Amino acid sequence: MQKNKITAFINNIDIVFFVLFLAIFLSLTIYNYLLFHTLAEIFSIVIGFAIFIIAWNSRQFIDNNYLIFIGVGYLFIAFLDLMHTLSYKGMNIIVYGANVSTQLWISARFLEAITLLVAPLFIRRKLKYHFELLFYLISTLIILLSIFYWNIFPVCYTGTELTMFKIISEYIIIALLISSIFLLFRFKAEFSKRVITLLISSIIITAIGEIFFTLYRDVYSLFNLLGHLFKIISFFLVYKALIETGLKKPYDLLFRRLKRSRDLLEDKSHKLELINKDLKSFAYTLSHDLKGPLRRIDGYSYSLQDEYSQNLDSEGNKFLKNIRDSVKKMSQIINDILKISQISTIKINYNKFNVSKMAKEIFEELKEQYKDKKVEFLAYPGMIMKADKSLIYILLTNLLENSLKFTNDNADSKIEFKNKYQGDKIIYYIKDNGIGMDMQFANKVFKPFEKAHEDKKIKGSGIGLATAKKVVNIHKGKIWIESERNKGTTIYFTLGV
């Protein structure tokens, strides 16, 4: 308990010092108001320059541009405040009278309000720092020229009272500050709760201070004193939010969006997992609910064909055969849907294995289904692959079967399975010299139930290459096709392992 109290005191020791400084500033007003004003302004000027220095030197790694925009703005705000301090009544450094000092003050407050209003817009936008610097530099030069050279800046103080321009300007500044609070609150998720509280508190206190600056009649009056006290407090809160928090707790302020992105990714991953489970459940339900009626249709049609085919004419037998063929095709489609849903939810286990040997075994199995095809198969020997063995088995089965379907009945029909290197990447490919296809259908062939040919003799549900693409995607690889009609097809794929 005692240790926690000591730690809390150390963490807030700057607040203790600030309160002491504030008490000293107040006591100075009894002795000399000009000294109080000078020290109060110097305090805010130093903080303004400090905000710029830390923000500018952090610009390379800050994702949130709010801090950088504020930093650049406060550099020029601090400069105008410095000019205001040097021209203040009694300083005798820039001797232009109380009106000039008030003009510089109102210019700095306008610049501050506009900076706070615009800064939230760059929280999620890219900021071109040098353009902002140039904009503030030109704006500050125009302000100084309008006051000291062109003499066109509106009068703010007559010597005995504030002008209507000065009073209205203060209320406009207050309105801008309040608007900046609402705008900043919209982006509160980009900051920690502590930082957003400090920033909004600073702006509110600045606005209250501006109210006091509409009420004084003399530059040494009580309202002027209160206005400067509130300014000191507001600048200190900006220090706490943007300097201390930006340095001592950078992950809370600067990398908060990274944490939010990670949380969002985890949430989406969880939702995707639930969707995959629902997909798998739906596929099994689809399989169960549809296969039952299909089996009955297949059974009845078989009995009808076996027992009553002699009672039907050729047209009737043809219809019966079409029914049985359609049932088989429908059953195959259901099996394919079930297969592709299982691939989406499978957990990958990476292992090294001889993929050349696997390809030869798959081809020998497929030859039993395509006995009428006279095809030579060549697999580059000794190819070792690191991937999920069961998924690669599905991938090669679909790719080799696809090549077998589209080979010609010529004696020189050939299918090859090889690899090649492109930099440090291995590209595998299966090449045939079959019927080929028009490349305008290249993207179509990898979509479920899509076909790039109209040949009804070639059977298939159109899901084989879609399944192959799914396997490659799971391995974070790429798959593509090159083909030419009557000259064959080559399917390439990589694995992002």
pLDDT tens, position by position, 355-384: 999 999 999 888 887 777 788 899 989 899
Comparing 231 with 338, which gets the higher pLDDT? 231
Which DSSP string do the residues of 386-407 spell out, in sequence order? EEEHHHHHHHHHHHHHHHHHT-
- Residues 170-191 as b or e (16 or more Cβ within 10 Å = b): beebbebbeebbebbeebeebb
Amino acid at the residue 159: G
**Domains defined for the chain, CATH in brackets:** 2-254 (1.20.1070), 256-345 (1.10.287), 348-497 (3.30.565.10)
pLDDT for 101 equals 92
Confidence label for 252 from pLDDT (cuts 50, 70 and 90): low
* pLDDT above 60 for 4: no
Least confident range from 19-33, 243-257, 329-343: namely 243-257
The predicted model gives 469-487 an average pLDDT of 88
Name the average pLDDT for the chain.
Answer: 80
Residue 208: its H or E element = helix 193-212
Confidence label for 274 from pLDDT (cuts 50, 70 and 90): low
Tokens describing residue 8: 């809390």
Q: How far apart are the first and last CA of the chain?
A: 52
Nearest CA-CA partner of 495 in 331, 351, 313: 351
pTM: 0.53
Mention every residue, 6+ apart, whose C-beta is less than 8 A from residue 259: 251
Ranges 27-41, 286-300, 411-425, most confident: 411-425
Least confident range from 109-113, 270-274, 459-463: namely 459-463
pLDDT for 6 equals 44
pLDDT for 144 equals 96
Residues 88/37, Cβ–Cβ less than 8 Å = yes
Locate tokens 């500033």: which residue? Answer: 25
pLDDT tens, position by position, 256-271: 555 666 767 777 666 6
Confidence label for 61 from pLDDT (cuts 50, 70 and 90): low
Comparing 37 with 279, which gets the higher pLDDT? 37
* pLDDT above 80 for 331: no
Give the Cα separation of 330 and 100 in Å (integer).
89
Sequence-ordered strand ranges (E) for 266-368: 350-354
